Amino acid sequence: MSRYINALDGREFTIRVQWVFIAVLTCITMFAMVGWKTTPKDFTAHIPPDLRAGARLNIGSTPEVPPANVYTFGLYIWQQINRWKEDGTKNYGEQIFAMQNYITPACREQLISDMNIKAGRGELAQRTRSLMEIAGQNYEEKRVVPLGGQAWTVLLDTQLQETSRGVQVKDVFIRYPLQIVRFDVDRELNPFGLAVDCFGNGRPERLDPKAYKLLSAPMPSSVGPGPAALPAPAAP
């Protein structure tokens, strides 16, 4: 009789162990499904343009943005906003609209205000405009000033040219202190997660072309090349 009782007890113990095992597997499966559902499907990686020395990428919800990428982003967006192919009267507004996902709302309003002021002064009609880097004044680390990890000031030394009915009416050197901020609002419309916030607390400054001519002059053969400082703005 005791043999049958022991057999029943052994069967019940085996059943209890199996139920515990099933419960543990169920919990593990549920945790795995929750983890899979909450894992980000997309990752953003900002790859620096120069990989000759290698690069370390931090991928995650708030990825690190190399200074070169911040500079390139700011230059490209600002060039596009200042590109009037045919007539500033229509092109300025079109470019603001085309770049609206890459500029902050405050910057957009500032640009629209600037457009209205220029229109009132007659500085848009029949005007073309182009913006380019001054020759030899390309990216350097000192041109990107970090402002706490979420924003940067980018110093663009540019040549701004305008024509009216085929006649050049403006050809100046300007330093734009562009402020770039993290702007991860809609990755479908702005995959970079950055935006131009116009000039922050700074303002554009006109540069002296003579300073750039001196920097571009050949160095004497007896003097080795050294790091060039950013030219000082021209006196107002």
pLDDT in tens, 97-139: 999 999 999 999 999 999 999 999 999 999 999 999 998 898 9
Mean pLDDT of 198-215: 83
pLDDT of residue 220: 42
- Asked if pLDDT for residue 1 goes beyond 60, the answer is no
Between CA 99 and CA 108 the distance in angstroms is 9
Answering whether pTM is above 0.85, one says no
Between CA 2 and CA 146 the distance in angstroms is 82
Between CA 67 and CA 73 the distance in angstroms is 10
Q: Where are the alpha helices (DSSP H) in 121-167?
A: none
**Residue 101: which residues within 8 A CB-CB, separation 6 or more?**
186, 189, 190
pLDDT of residue 33: 65
Identity of the residue numbered 9 = D
Give the confidence band of 205 by pLDDT, cuts at 50, 70, 90.
very high
Q: What confidence tens digit (pLDDT) does each residue in 47-102 have?
A: 555 544 444 555 555 668 889 999 999 999 999 999 999 999 999 999 999 999 99
CB atoms within 10 A of CB 204: 16
Average pLDDT, the chain: 80
CB atoms within 10 A of CB 167: 8
Between CA 234 and CA 20 the distance in angstroms is 80
